Amino acid sequence: MNWSEERLSQALRALPARVAPLGLTTSLRVIASRERQRRVAGSAFRPWRDRWALFASNLMRPLAVPVAGGVFSAVALFSILAPTYPVRVPGSFDVPTVLTTEVGVNRMAPIRVSDDDVIVDVTVDGQGRMIDYTVLSGASALTNVRTRRRLEAALLFTEFTPATSFGQPMAGKMRLSLRNSRIDVKG
């Protein structure tokens, strides 16, 4: 120690000791008690909530930018590629499954409409009854009223198997080709 430091130490020791104000101890205890009550009454789950918030914050910050970039990239690529995706190719045949079936013919009496071939589209309801028909070709043969009535009677008394979708009967269409010697059915 130096001469001046030693003198300073003696001078400081010679000073009278400071006494705390009378109400200081009581006021400090009141402040500490209020702070303790605030912490206890705040929430029993507060420490858990604070830990979870810190965990989520530390977890999400490093992942937020890569996740946002991935979602943006996926949306951008989908919007670019979606218009070029072939939805349906015309003229392709659908693969038959048990999930849907076409209209079928159970029983039909042989009918000779005319010397010409007649192609008819028949609409069948869910009970297997004909609802409507449209003549696609051979309409000139049906100008005779008697021939048209024979065709309509034959279609009305034909037993159809209705189309099904997921096992439930539904309305459907089928094409009948009535020829001189035979009848061709196409679904």
Contact 174, 130 (CB under 8 A): no
- 168, 127 Cβ separation under 8 angstroms: no
Q: Which two tokens stand for residue 72?
A: 């943006």
pLDDT value for 183: 54
- The pLDDT score that the predictor gives to residue 92 is 59
Q: What number is the average pLDDT over the span 21-29? A: 91
State mean pLDDT over 80-99: 64
Query: What is residue 98's predicted lDDT score, i.e. its pLDDT?
Result: 66
Of 11-15, 114-118, 166-170, 178-182, the one with minimum mean pLDDT is 178-182
**Which comes out higher in pLDDT, residue 61 or 171?**
171
Predicted confidence (pLDDT) per residue in 105-114, tens digit: 888 766 766 6
Mean pLDDT of 154-172: 85
23-37, 45-59, 93-107, 145-159, range with the lowest pLDDT: 93-107
Average pLDDT score over the chain: 80
Residue 90 has a pLDDT of 59
Mean pLDDT of the 87-93 span: 59
Residue range 16-26: mean pLDDT, rounded:
88
DSSP string, the chain: --HHHHHHHHHHHHSPPP---TTHHHHHHHHHHHHHHHHHHH-SSHHHHHHHHHHHHHHHHHHHHHHHHHHHHHHHHHHHHGGGS----TTPPPPP-SSEE--EEEE-------SS-EEEEEEE-TTS-EEEEEEEE-GGGGGSHHHHHHHHHHHHT-EEEPEEETTEEE-EEEEEEE-SS-EEEE-
